[in-house]
């Protein structure tokens, strides 16, 4: 059962990520049938202001000792990774005493510094995933999901994914009815799909060697044409086998994997910037059919083309109509 929650705050705390924790666990919603949480904000020194990441200050009411013995320790994001040793020790002690540890966005770095990510499944904001992996090589980092539930360790991706992780924990411990009530009050979906792949910008890879770059440029300009390893190799005056080997060396992907990725990237831009229907997008991106576009788009991005357009279209009228 989830009854007591302590949020850790330090210098450089990010207000939105901290606010997510407060919104889910710190507000009295007992009038709506939601159990009240024993919620504490904990810092190195009670009553001493801490600098937030946006030029404001936050004053914790409780000390680090209030992290130990609670059901949940929630860790927001912080600017920088120079954490006080006493804070790391308190988080370790809380975990050892049986608390669930939940991190929002780059709060995973603090959990890692406390030694809680070694050999564990976890996630963080996609922009920081490589850095987290370099710092904690034994951690199993999933870059695609909104959050990872690894039992007594729950880690979330960037910023708003913290809402998903917090609501997931409420659902896990208190059921869907309580979760839905909180979500309605927050005006957010009780559960999102698609993971964070849909939010990751996927730029065209850096240019390859001078001799190979024209081949990639030509493909990018002709994505709507049919391509095979054989036809691409013929344009490059190479055997199919040599071309395929060189292509992997230059891009890290097989020719057809790379072509498919670029077609999906182009389809994303069309869905964001035009009002072309899905069949026309499929045709212009080189997939031929909407069925094939949906298959590859969902595999790469994590949601359907229609769902992606609803979330990211630059057409204000379309966004308003689906809000």
| pLDDT, tens digit, 9 for 90 and up, residues 278-308 | 999 999 999 999 999 999 998 888 889 998 8
Is residue 167 within 8 Å of residue 173, measured between CB atoms?
no
How would you class 60 by CB atoms within 10 Å of its CB: exposed for 0-12, middle for 13-18, buried for 19 or more? buried
Q: Is the pLDDT of residue 246 over 80?
A: yes
Lowest mean pLDDT among 110-119, 127-136, 178-187: 178-187
Structural domains of the chain sorted by starting position, each given as residue range(s) with its CATH number in brackets = 4-199 (3.40.50.880), 213-322 (1.10.10.60)
* pLDDT (mean) for 305-319: 68
The mean pLDDT value of the chain amounts to: 89
Instruction: Pick the closest to residue 279 from 291, 268, 297, 269 (CA basis).
Output: 291
Write out pLDDT tens, residues 232-242: 999 989 999 99
CB hemisphere CA count around 254 (13 angstroms): 9
User: Which two three-digit tokens encode residue 188?
Assistant: 């957010």
* pLDDT (mean) for 88-99: 98
- Provide the whole-model pTM: 0.67
Rounded distance between C-alpha atoms, residue 45 and residue 63, angstroms: 6
Rounded distance between C-alpha atoms, residue 12 and residue 77, angstroms: 8
DSSP string, 132-183: HHHH-TTSEE-SSSSEEE-SSEEEE-STTHHHHHHHHHHHHHH-HHHHHHHH
Q: Which residue has the tokens 């946006």?
A: 54
Cα angle, residue 224 at apex, residues 223 and 230 outer, rounded to 5°: 65
What share of the chain in percent tops pLDDT 90? 66
């Amino acid at each position: 059962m989830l009854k007591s929650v302590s949020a850790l705050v330090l210098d450089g705390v990010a207000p939105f990520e901290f606010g997510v924790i407060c919104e889910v666990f710190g507000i009295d919603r007992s009038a709506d049938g939601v159990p009240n949480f024993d919620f504490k904000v904990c810092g190195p020194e009670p009553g001493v202001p801490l600098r937030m990441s946006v030029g404001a200050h936050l004053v914790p009411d409780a000390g680090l000792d209030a992290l130990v013995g609670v059901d949940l320790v929630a860790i927001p994001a912080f600017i920088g990774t120079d954490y006080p040793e006493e804070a790391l020790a308190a988080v370790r002690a809380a975990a050892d005493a049986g608390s669930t540890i939940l991190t929002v966005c780059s709060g995973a770095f603090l959990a890692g510094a406390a030694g809680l990510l070694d050999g564990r499944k976890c996630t963080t904001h996609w922009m920081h995933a490589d850095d987290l992996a370099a710092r904690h090589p034994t951690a199993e980092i999933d870059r695609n999901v909104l959050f990872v539930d690894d039992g007594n360790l729950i880690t979330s991706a960037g910023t708003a994914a913290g809402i998903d992780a917090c609501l997931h924990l409420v659902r896990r411990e208190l059921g869907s009815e309580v979760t839905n009530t909180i979500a309605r009050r927050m005006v957010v979906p009780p559960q999102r799909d698609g993971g964070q792949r849909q939010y990751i910008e996927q730029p065209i890879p850096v240019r390859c060697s001078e001799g190979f770059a024209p081949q990639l440029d030509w493909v990018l300009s002709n994505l709507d044409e049919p391509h095979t390893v054989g036809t691409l190799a013929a344009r490059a005056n190479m055997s199919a086998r040599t071309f395929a080997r060189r292509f992997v060396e230059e891009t890290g992907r097989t020719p057809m994997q790379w072509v498919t990725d670029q077609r999906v990237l182009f389809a994303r831009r069309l869905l964001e910037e035009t009002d072309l229907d899905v069949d026309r997008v499929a045709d212009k991106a080189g997939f031929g059919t909407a069925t094939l576009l949906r298959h590859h788009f969902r595999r790469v991005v994590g949601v359907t083309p229609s769902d992606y357009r609803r979330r990211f279209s630059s057409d204000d009228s379309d966004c308003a109509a689906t809000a």
